[in-house]
Structure 1
Amino acid sequence: MTQTTVSGLTRRGLLGAFAATALIAAPTYSNAFGLLKGAGDIRRVRMYSGRTGESIDTIYWIEGDYIPEAIKEINHFMRDWRSGETTKIDPRTVDIMAASHRLMDVSEPYMMLSGYRSPGTNAMLRSKSGGVAKHSLHMVGQAADLRLKSRSVGQMAKAAEACASGGVGRYSRSNFVHMDCGPVRSWGG
């Protein structure tokens, strides 16, 4: 490779200076719950639901601002598919999902198994399974259960844990990962 000199700077030196400037100017999120390591200046979420047959592929955040129309779409998509009820999904949960997806470097959309759960749905599921929390964060729009065909439960969980922003549950037998924006913790195998 040849180096072009402009005013005493090589092309490589000039590119290095731009890179250093970008790093210094980039915002840090170290105090923002560890969110969005790797999420970037544009945040996108891609999911489909085997339950409803619907899919979503939307940019929901640009340069520090959530896009209200995209958030409304996400709220509807992540509704309780059993009852049709919706709630406001906590954007921090979507941020964790988006950052984890980006860290895994996949183009495949998540399969969403569960987003919002109405209290009635949660009680019904709890009566059938010991693995459903009485005060589940699904009931307040702060959790999602997700699956990827191209990544293992372990790989997905490690990406979510790298965000250090909430709860991560491994459900290997059922092949999904729970992600939430509650206290940082992990469980399952």
Structure 2
Amino acid sequence: MRRLKMYNGRTGESMDTIYWIEGDYIKDALNEINAFMRDWRRNEVRTIDTRTIDIMAASHNLMDTSEPYMLLSGYRSPKTNAMLRSRSGGVAKNSLHMKGQAADLRIGNRSIYQMAKAAQACRAGGVGVYRGSNFVHMDCGAVRQWNG
């Protein structure tokens, strides 16, 4: 069983769903995750890569907390990504957020360093620590880390 718990302070939405049981992804649960992780600025939904969802869930399990993630950014449309890039030097031009392959997250009862350590332990994608904004980026791209 794999489970994902999140809330979004921007939209006020929260979710707690079991998305994988006995080797099978649950389509309705994945659809719920896709909608939850949408580009809320443009209300655009894209399929979120299950590898990213698995990294998020596995990292959460390793942190041994019942508190949900706060989702700061999931899918980002190219227009939203360009807008954010114009405001911040930390936004990649070809961000994996635009492919539904990344998430920016925080948890109130764990530090960003604890979160990053859990994500790195999965050895499954990119992990970026953003001290100034107090969040961790997780993606299913190449295994790498930055700002750690």
TM-score, structure 2 normalization = 0.99
Q: Deviations over 1:15-34 (max 9, x none)?
A: xxxxxxxxxxxxxxxxxxxx
Counterparts of residues 19-34 of structure 1 (less than 5 Å)? none
Does structure 1 residue 76 correspond to structure 2 residue 35? Answer: yes
Which of the numbers 118, 131, 150 marks the counterpart of 2:90? Answer: 131
CA distance in 1, matches of 2:78, 2:115: 27
CA distance in 1, matches of 2:131, 2:93: 21
Q: Secondary structure at the match of 2:93?
A: coil
Q: Deviations over 1:82-108 (max 9, x none)?
A: 000010000110100000000000000
Which of the numbers 60, 70, 76 marks the counterpart of 1:101? Answer: 60
Q: 1:52 aligns to what?
A: 11
Q: 1:172 deviation in Å?
A: 1.3
Q: 1:177 aligns to what?
A: 136
Does structure 1 residue 115 correspond to structure 2 residue 63? Answer: no
CA distance in 2, matches of 1:66, 1:111: 23
CA distance in 1, matches of 2:117, 2:139: 14
Q: Secondary structure at the match of 1:105?
A: coil
> Which structure is richer in relative contact order (CA contacts within 8 A, separation 6 or more)?
2
CA distance in 1, matches of 2:82, 2:16: 31
CA distance in 1, matches of 2:79, 2:134: 25
- Say which one has the larger Rg: 1
Counterparts of residues 35-46 of structure 1 (less than 5 Å)? 42-46=1-5
Q: 2:127 aligns to what?
A: 168
CA distance in 2, matches of 1:63, 1:178: 28
> Where do 4+ consecutive residues of structure 1 move more than 3 Å?
none
CA distance in 1, matches of 2:111, 2:131: 9
Q: Which amino acid aligns with 1:124?
A: M
Q: Deviations over 1:18-76 (max 9, x none)?
A: xxxxxxxxxxxxxxxxxxxxxxxx00000000010000100000011000000000000
TM-score, structure 1 normalization = 0.78
Identity percentage over the alignment?
74
Q: 1:140 aligns to what?
A: 99
Aligned residue pairs total 148
Q: 1:173 deviation in Å?
A: 1.5
Q: Which amino acid aligns with 1:150?
A: N
